[in-house]
Amino acid sequence: MALSGDARQLFTERPDVYARFIRLMRYPQGLRAVWRAETTTPADRKAMLRLVVQLISLEPVDLPRRGTRVRIQWMSGAVDEHIIDRPVNGTARRLAMRIQELLNSDAGIYGGSNQGNQGGVEAEGLQMHGRPYSLNLTLPGLSALFFKAPPGS
């Protein structure tokens, strides 16, 4: 099936996903104005970041202090690195939760470069943004990815 057919099926089955996709596509050119607008939600800001961030990687660092190196690779090719302190007594526990990738417009069957999350990704016990778990996702440039969390998550 072609990308347009798969997207149509996903949007038909999940109108909420379609509504968010349409809202994302209507962003005006002024990224700064949209970012600062009172009506922009945290979810909207995350969607905008996905348009300019190519890859984020996390790596534990123990010297000179216990922390996590966060490496951000921007779509422009620029790279930023930061070290964020980690609690000494925190031990990450792996959550056996698989997040399913419903659609990846960069898949090889659509003529893309086949970059993505191979149908899904497992949540990790690394706390982020006030949540107990986080995901390490591959977000190919100029593509659309849609995910589904398991029931009860």
Query: 98-137: per-residue pLDDT in tens?
Result: 788 888 888 888 888 888 888 888 877 788 888 777 888 8
Q: Which two tokens stand for residue 55?
A: 């890859």
pLDDT in tens, 78-103: 888 888 877 654 333 333 467 888 88
- Which H or E run contains 52? helix 42-52
- The structure tokens 């216990």 sit at 66
Provide the residue type at 15 as one letter. Answer: P
Identify the burial level of 104 via C-beta atoms within 10 angstroms of its C-beta, where 0-12 means exposed, 13-18 middle and 19 or more buried.
Answer: buried
Dihedral angle sign, alpha carbons of residues 117, 123, 124, 126:
positive
What pTM was estimated for this model as a whole?
A: 0.42
